Chains A and B, each alone.
Chain A
Amino acid sequence: MAAFEPVLLRRLNRPECKNLEGYRADGGYRTLERALKEMSPDQVTTVVKDSGLRGRGGAGFPTGLKWTFLPKGHPGPIYLCVNCDESEPCTFNNRYLIECDPHQVLEGIILASYAIRATTAYFYVRYEYGSGTRTMQRAIDELYAAGMLGKNILGSEYSLDVVVHRGAAAYICGEETGLIESLEGKRAWPRIKPPFPAIEGAFRKPTIVNNPETLANVVNIVERGGEWFKSLGVPPDPKNPRDAGSYGSKLYCISGHVNKPGIVELPMGVTLRELLEVHGGGVWKGRKAKGAIPGGNSMGFCTEAEFDIPLDFNGPGKVGCLGLGTAAVTVFDETTSIVDVLHNLCRFFAHESCGQCTPCREGTAWMLKIVERIKRGQGRLEDLAILEEVADKIGIMPGTTICGLADGAGWPVKTAIRKFRDEFKTYLREGPGKGPSAGMRLQMAGGH
């Protein structure tokens, strides 16, 4: 099979394209020019909708469909918020995009803003991405100087401002309404829904929140057409009328105990095993894998036996994971203690819970305390039952919390216990000092 020709990452090793001149010389912004001249905003939306593009931020909501939720004929202003908070541990695809190909992201931002009739696009970027932030700001400044941002872009009737807004190191700012609250200068406490951001978002105006990778896809879809996009990836399961398919290519992040951690762009649907073996160079140090996280911490764990799942929107769910998430794969080897891994994740979620609603605030802290007690050698068998139960009941899926952080906190706990139960029981019986993981601690690449 011929290797996939990267589209999103095609300028990865071409730093000359980071500036406007180089990007334009490579054919960049021709799509924007054509769209502004020949397409109406609604036509752009239709192209994106028909392409089957689903959001790359973790929820996988159909992008074009989300754009249609804006109220028709609204006097404005309408806002686009670009969610570059990228705080899901193991994930760094947006970082690559903004550091290596800022103009592709910006072209996508302007196209999307045009489609939704936005007047301002807020680029919300996590504080830790200093280099990427500066790269994006330089690119934005270039665009303003060239009359491609601000009033009458490229001589058209469309005007757009792009404002860079840096976060302050909170995972919950990646939740769309948490992001909006933070943008407004308030505590990043996610809002209760309804109303949804498309109706009442930033500064109480209609707002669409999109991921940078999603927006980069928009450029290529408008350039090459939805049919091209649909020729990649996995079509919907004909037996499931609610399956929207997994079209297009995805940036997969590989990290952890692998020989070649990094990023690779592949059509959706590559299996975890192929990603690990072919693109990640296999497990390091000649070891075998114990398990992996298929899409960022919140998705939970896969055992090695489950590595043949396709990494599309449906695959991980079939083995009890929350979903594809950010498609950031982190592998841990057979010498790693699952208890250590779980401890690390529980610490993360307890630290990042915003504290607004009772089940998550108290539940994440409780789960951490239990796991820490297990690590101290004072765990009991019923602690596993308590952990599973608490993890099952917190989240927007059972309806008990305001946002999905709690679901993300619960999934690793319940998948770890259900899939590695024997290892937990051994740990409870024999304590931390025994077994193959004695003394080993997991270091998560990209994790907090």
Chain B
Amino acid sequence: MATVYVNDRAVDIGDERLNCVQAAQRAGVTIPHYCWHAALSVVASCRMCLVEVGERKVDEKGEVSTVMQPKVVPGCQTPVKDGTVIRTSDAKSKDAQQRTLESLLLNHPLDCPVCDKAGECLLQDYSFQFGKAESRMVDEKRTPPNKPDIGPHVNLFTDRCIMCSRCVRFTREVSGTAELHIVNRGTHAEIDVFEGHPLDNKLSLNVVDLCPVGALASKDFLYTQRVWNLKSANAVCGGCSTGCSVHVDSNKDIVYRLRPRFNPRAQGHFMCDAGRLGYHHVNDPARLRQYLVRGENGTRAVDWAEAAGICREKLGAAASRDPGRVWFVFSPSMTVEEAWLLANYARQLSPFVKLAMGAIVVEGADDTFPKDRKGRPAPQVKFTIRAEKAANVRGVRGVLAHFQKERLDYQQFLQAARGGQVDACLISQGQSPAIYKPGVEEGDALAGVAFVAVQELFASPLTDRAHVVVPASAFSEVDGTWVNHAGLAQAKRASCAPWRGTRTDGQFYLELLGRKGLVHAGNLRREVAKAIPGFKPLEAADLGEYGVFCEKLKDLA
């Protein structure tokens, strides 16, 4: 057990191998830093983390003495061991911190009023906390031209750059594509790309998160919101079965951006561009907003209770006649709680009603990073975009397997429908249109089905055939649990209320079940954990920041 002393506070760091910045974090002390990042190599070039380091010695008589090194050292490149003493706010450190900040601000443009990063900018934050109130610079600042086309998704405001090189190291060490370079020398140094090779890789937008200041900006988010107006929810990306932990940032029920959330159990620090930008469908005005009922007299809009009532009536009637000809299709983007409620309803009707998995999109093979510029993967994988483009296959399968021994997939459902073996069905299809769009043949397969209820985000060949159309919930509107490729069950929180007049999918299923009350993810988790052994870890209800592993679900691909 190693004890490190940070500003005279002892902290036990166990047997972890840490640098001073990390050791101080354990003690609740912030050592300001820019260039160091846990996922990148150490360069110790920003000089923001300069601290005093020493050693605490206890001699045979038990007398304690502390010997400090004569000059400040970068905390990020200095490993700590038992007895290391770190002083972060004594005169020398304070002086170094003030000077580094003064140096960085010498040429930094006073862009705060127009800079996206304001409110989450480390230059602002550290200047306020560790810097001087006034600048002594009266000379001209250098003004290199900005580079709005450094990449298809990223804008570079060159004059704001503090040359921490995090973005360069990211493209070398994590994506492997190495598009970003530093050109020129000294005060003229700039981030740039070679002509014809812009910053264009599947992980490119991570450099915007990494940039401590507003030099690198996301074109998708540029000038849309001030970050202090955004509400942040801990959620999970549904783009693939990696299940990156994210923050969903929204304001007044409109989602403005996704950011990766550090999760050592899930994906680490980053997320891919496709996932990050995969929220636009949520705000799309073309989304289904009304419950529709189709009959001989045409289509009419109804309220949610009536829609649920009609579903109960028709599905119930079909199930009592011949339950084997009633199908429920579960979207792989459903939460565990939603799948649990819907499956319960199906079993409420009859043990012979068929439960099938919805369409699972698989694109190519798992894409690992880094890869070098010739596309050869590196031996140490730092990030994976998975081929299975679905959020919760294992979670839904885990629920279905409990209720039904036979495993039924989407193709089997469609085949049964084409073969005239389906009387009634309820299809939950809430996957993002960027991932999956039902095709015309699927709609045609439903031609002979007497009663079709479809939950969808957008109008599609399926909704064209539906007798009842139910607006589906987007991922940002649902509190629930998703299980990723490794069996990690993560809690995702809702950011937005469902469209007025509509209910979340889970609430709709409660109504089908005839249960009173509101959907409460925690309570439902406890129910599921009690009923299904594979979900036992969910009994914690609060799955914590990083989620819990459900080993038994891992291989239910």
**In whole angstroms, what is the CA distance A362 to B184 when docked?**
14
Residue of A nearest to B99 (CB): A393
B163, A366: Cβ atoms closer than 8 Å: no
A351, B186: Cβ atoms closer than 8 Å: yes
B46, A358: Cβ atoms closer than 8 Å: yes
* Cβ-based interface call for B104 (8 A): yes
Residue of A nearest to B182 (CB): A187
A400, B186: Cβ atoms closer than 8 Å: no
* Cβ-based interface call for B486 (8 A): no
* Cβ-based interface call for B187 (8 A): yes
- Nearest-CB distance from B151 to chain A (Å)? 21
Residues of B close to A357: CB separation below 8 A: 44-47
Interface residues of B in 135-188 (CB under 8 A from A): 136-140, 142, 162-163, 182, 184-188
* Cβ-based interface call for A290 (8 A): no
Residues of A close to B106: CB separation below 8 A: 362, 365-366
A400-B50 CB under 8 A given contacts A192-B77, A370-B139: yes
A365-B137 CB under 8 A given contacts A359-B47, A398-B71, A398-B72: no
Residue of B nearest to A365 (CB): B187
A350-B47 CB under 8 A given contacts A192-B42, A362-B107, A363-B103: no
A358, B100: Cβ atoms closer than 8 Å: yes
Residues of A close to B140: CB separation below 8 A: 369
**In whole angstroms, what is the CA distance A370 to B103 when docked?**
14
B163, A361: Cβ atoms closer than 8 Å: yes
B139, A369: Cβ atoms closer than 8 Å: yes
Main SS of the interface on chain B? loop
B71, A358: Cβ atoms closer than 8 Å: no
Main SS of the interface on chain A? helix
* Cβ-based interface call for A352 (8 A): yes
A355, B189: Cβ atoms closer than 8 Å: yes
* Cβ-based interface call for B96 (8 A): yes
- Nearest-CB distance from B150 to chain A (Å)? 19
A399, B73: Cβ atoms closer than 8 Å: yes
* Cβ-based interface call for A170 (8 A): yes
**In whole angstroms, what is the CA distance A352 to B139 when docked?**
20
* Cβ-based interface call for B233 (8 A): no
* Cβ-based interface call for A401 (8 A): yes
B99, A359: Cβ atoms closer than 8 Å: yes
* Cβ-based interface call for A354 (8 A): yes
Annotate A165-182 by CB proximity to B: 1 below 8 A, 0 otherwise. Answer: 000001010000000000
- Nearest-CB distance from A169 to chain B (Å)? 11
Q: Which of B72, B137, B138, B185 contacts A400 (CB 8 A)?
A: B72
* Cβ-based interface call for B43 (8 A): yes
* Cβ-based interface call for A364 (8 A): yes
Residues of A close to B95: CB separation below 8 A: 393
Q: Which of A350, A362, A365, A400 contacts B96 (CB 8 A)?
A: A400
* Cβ-based interface call for A397 (8 A): yes
**In whole angstroms, what is the CA distance A265 to B92 when docked?**
44
Interface residues of A in 208-265 (CB under 8 A from B): none
**In whole angstroms, what is the CA distance A369 to B138 when docked?**
10
- Nearest-CB distance from B254 to chain A (Å)? 39
A350-B187 CB under 8 A given contacts A192-B77, A358-B47, A366-B106: yes
**In whole angstroms, what is the CA distance A361 to B185 when docked?**
9
Annotate B88-102 by CB proximity to A: 1 below 8 A, 0 otherwise. Answer: 000000011001100
A397-B186 CB under 8 A given contacts A357-B45, A366-B139, A369-B140: no
Interface residues of A in 363-385 (CB under 8 A from B): 363-366, 369-370, 373
* Cβ-based interface call for A81 (8 A): no
* Cβ-based interface call for A356 (8 A): yes
**In whole angstroms, what is the CA distance A4 to B142 when docked?**
53
- Total interface residues on B, CB under 8 Å, equals 36
Residue of B nearest to A380 (CB): B138
B96, A352: Cβ atoms closer than 8 Å: no
A364, B72: Cβ atoms closer than 8 Å: no
A358-B162 CB under 8 A given contacts A393-B99, A400-B99: yes
Annotate B67-98 by CB proximity to A: 1 below 8 A, 0 otherwise. Answer: 00001111001000000000000000001100
B50, A399: Cβ atoms closer than 8 Å: yes
B100, A359: Cβ atoms closer than 8 Å: yes
**In whole angstroms, what is the CA distance A170 to B184 when docked?**
11
**In whole angstroms, what is the CA distance A351 to B189 when docked?**
11
Residues of B close to A352: CB separation below 8 A: 185-186
Residue of B nearest to A171 (CB): B185
B45, A397: Cβ atoms closer than 8 Å: no
Residue of A nearest to B74 (CB): A192
Residues of A close to B103: CB separation below 8 A: 358-359, 361-363, 366
A361, B73: Cβ atoms closer than 8 Å: no
Interface centre among A350, A351, A369, A386 (most CB of B within 10 A): A369
Interface centre among B107, B138, B187 (most CB of A within 10 A): B187
**In whole angstroms, what is the CA distance A269 to B77 when docked?**
40
Interface centre among B72, B77, B100, B185 (most CB of A within 10 A): B185
**In whole angstroms, what is the CA distance A307 to B45 when docked?**
39
Interface residues of A in 331-358 (CB under 8 A from B): 350-358
Residue of B nearest to A352 (CB): B186
* Cβ-based interface call for A402 (8 A): yes
A170, B44: Cβ atoms closer than 8 Å: no
**In whole angstroms, what is the CA distance A355 to B161 when docked?**
12
A386, B104: Cβ atoms closer than 8 Å: no
**In whole angstroms, what is the CA distance A30 to B513 when docked?**
101
**In whole angstroms, what is the CA distance A366 to B46 when docked?**
17
Interface centre among A350, A357, A397 (most CB of B within 10 A): A357
B99, A354: Cβ atoms closer than 8 Å: no
**In whole angstroms, what is the CA distance A398 to B95 when docked?**
11
A358-B182 CB under 8 A given contacts A366-B137, A366-B139, A370-B139: no
- Nearest-CB distance from A371 to chain B (Å)? 10
- Nearest-CB distance from B99 to chain A (Å)? 6
Residues of A close to B43: CB separation below 8 A: 192, 356
Residues of A close to B188: CB separation below 8 A: 355
Interface centre among B47, B77, B188 (most CB of A within 10 A): B47
**In whole angstroms, what is the CA distance A353 to B163 when docked?**
14
Residues of A close to B71: CB separation below 8 A: 397-399
Interface residues of B in 17-55 (CB under 8 A from A): 42-48, 50
Interface residues of B in 244-275 (CB under 8 A from A): none
- Nearest-CB distance from B470 to chain A (Å)? 58
- Nearest-CB distance from A348 to chain B (Å)? 11
Q: Which of A355, A359, A373, A401 contacts B186 (CB 8 A)?
A: A355
Q: Which of A350, A353, A399 contacts B72 (CB 8 A)?
A: A399
Residue of B nearest to A191 (CB): B43
Residues of A close to B42: CB separation below 8 A: 192
**In whole angstroms, what is the CA distance A364 to B189 when docked?**
13
Annotate A17-47 by CB proximity to B: 1 below 8 A, 0 otherwise. Answer: 0000000000000000000000000000000
**In whole angstroms, what is the CA distance A361 to B106 when docked?**
11
**In whole angstroms, what is the CA distance A402 to B103 when docked?**
16
Residue of A nearest to B136 (CB): A386
Residues of B close to A398: CB separation below 8 A: 71-72
Complex A-B: 5 CB contacts under 8 Å: A350-B186, A358-B162, A361-B103, A366-B106, A369-B139
List the 7 shortest-distance A-B pairs measured between CB atoms, nearest first: A399-B71, A365-B187, A355-B189, A362-B103, A353-B186, A369-B139, A399-B72
Known: A353-B187, A397-B71. 6 other contacts (CB 8 A): A356-B163, A358-B100, A358-B103, A366-B139, A373-B139, A399-B71
